[in-house]
């Protein structure tokens, strides 16, 4: 049906700038994310985690290396095909939440469903259910600027998961959250995103959520240094 890995990056290198000021953010990074699993990517500030995630998302082109997502060479596609592939298959939570300032919390969370063609009332209803699960039932109609950092973060989580994408990519999805909200986010992630044809990749410093990981990948200075298996990926086909 499909190969064993939802995401496979081999030998990714990324150079920012040229000449004496050039910096190598990635120096031959290899990472494999199995289907049916949550993989966490950890490492010191500046080691290249966000760069690697942005490359997997197709938002940043590597200087060299191979990147395949759901068995597709994402940098071999046309720009239009890549945009469509991303819309159809991926959910993102970035370090900045990128909420739309004039939309309510529920409307922001519904954006992925609307883009997928779901009718507006139905989309907002489903997004509202996700927000309630994340403890935001009082904030459905609030604008982002009236929400705390942790509340905005949970709206971004709901937005990334509500259309049930096959690949979920997150940069520090629980950084601004207390323990209880962080667990609610991870439980939703485990429920929505861990199926045999799906996978989750999370960049995190938050050791409180490590128990949700099937594998933890350690990164240093632009390279993967070790892979720690925590539990069998329950649903790998
Ligand atoms: N657009 C850019 N231009 C130049 N250098 C960059 C750019 N983006 C990242 N870098 C450099 O690449 C390296 C890796 O950055 P990256 O953002 O991937 O780190 P990170 O592991 O996500 O760190 P953090 O944990 O602080 O978020 C850093 O040295 C950074 O300064
Ligand atoms: Mg980062």
CATH superfamily, domain 5-98+164-229, is: P-loop containing nucleotide triphosphate hydrolases (3.40.50.300)
Is the model's pLDDT at 154 over the cut of 60? yes
Question: Which structure tokens are listed for 109?
Answer: 């969370």
pLDDT of residue 1: 45
Q: What is the pLDDT of residue 114?
A: 92
**Residue-level pLDDT at 234:** 47
Helix axes 179-193, 120-133, angle to 10 degrees: 130
CA–centroid distance, 202 to ligand 2, in Å, is 11
Q: What residue's CA is closest to ligand 1, atom 25? A: 45
Alpha helix segments (H runs only) across the chain:
49-56, 79-89, 105-109, 111-115, 120-133, 149-161, 179-193
Is the model's pLDDT at 100 over the cut of 80? Answer: yes
Mean pLDDT on 210-218: 94
Supply angle C-alpha 219, 23, 86, rounded to 5. 65
Q: Name the residue at shortest CA distance from atom 27 of ligand 1.
A: 45
Percent share of the chain, pLDDT over 70: 96
CA 84 to chain centre: 17
Quickly state the pLDDT bin for 3 (edges 50, 70, 90): low
The predicted model gives 48-66 an average pLDDT of: 95
Q: How far apart (Å, rounded) are the C-alpha atoms in residues 237 and 229?
A: 17
Q: Mean pLDDT across the chain, nearest whole number?
A: 91
Spell out the residues 6+ positions from residue 180 whose beta carbon is closer than 8 angstroms to its own.
Answer: 135
Three-state DSSP state, 70:
coil
Ligand 1 midpoint to CA 171 (Å):
13
pLDDT band at 124 (very low <50, low <70, confident <90, very high): very high
User: CB of 27 within 8 A of CB of 189?
Assistant: no
Which string of b and e fits 175-196 if b means at least 16 CB within 10 Å? ebbeeebbbbbbebbeebbbee
In terms of DSSP bridges, do strands 23-34 and 5-16 run parallel, antiparallel, or are they unpaired?
antiparallel
Q: Ligand 1 pocket by C-beta < 6 Å: which residues?
A: 16-17, 23, 25, 45-51
pLDDT digits (tens, 9 = 90+) for 78-97: 999 999 999 899 999 987 88
pLDDT digits (tens, 9 = 90+) for 14-37: 999 988 889 999 999 999 999 999
Residue 153: its pLDDT value, please? 92
Partnered with residue 229 across adjacent β-strands are 215
Of the residues 15, 21, 43, 50, which should be mutated to test ligand 1's pocket, given the most ligand atoms within 8 Å of the CB? Answer: 50
Which of 4, 2, 7 is closest to 217 using CA atoms?
7
pLDDT confidence of residue 95: 79
The Cα 176–Cα 155 span in angstroms is 12
Structure tokens at 105: 């919390």
Residue 230 in 3-state DSSP?
coil
Tell me if the pTM is above 0.75.
yes
Q: Average pLDDT, stretch 185-210?
A: 90
């Amino acid at each position: 049906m499909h190969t064993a890995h939802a995401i496979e990056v081999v030998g990714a290198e990324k150079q920012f700038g040229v000449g004496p000021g050039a910096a190598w953010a990635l120096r031959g990074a290899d990472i494999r994310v199995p289907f049916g699993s949550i993989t966490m990517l950890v490492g010191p500030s500046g080691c290249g985690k966000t760069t690697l995630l942005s490359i997997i998302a197709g938002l940043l082109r590597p200087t060299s290396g191979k990147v395949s997502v759901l068995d597709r060479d994402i940098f071999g596609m046309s720009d239009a095909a890549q945009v469509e592939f991303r819309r159809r298959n991926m959910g993102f939570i970035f370090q900045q939440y990128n909420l739309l300032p004039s939309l309510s919390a529920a409307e922001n969370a519904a954006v992925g469903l609307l883009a997928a063609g779901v009718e507006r009332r139905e989309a907002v209803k489903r997004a509202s259910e996700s927000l309630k699960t994340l403890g935001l039932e009082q904030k459905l109609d609030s604008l982002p600027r009236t929400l705390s950092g942790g509340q905005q973060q949970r709206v971004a989580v709901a937005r990334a998961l509500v259309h049930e994408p096959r690949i979920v990519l997150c940069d520090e999805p629980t950084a601004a959250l207390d323990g209880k909200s962080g667990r609610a986010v991870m439980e939703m992630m485990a429920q929505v995103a861990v199926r045999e044809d799906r996978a989750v990749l999370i960049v995190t410093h938050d050791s409180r959520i490590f128990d949700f990981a099937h594998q933890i990948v350690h990164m240093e200075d632009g390279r993967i240094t070790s892979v720690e298996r925590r539990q069998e990926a329950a649903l790998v086909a």
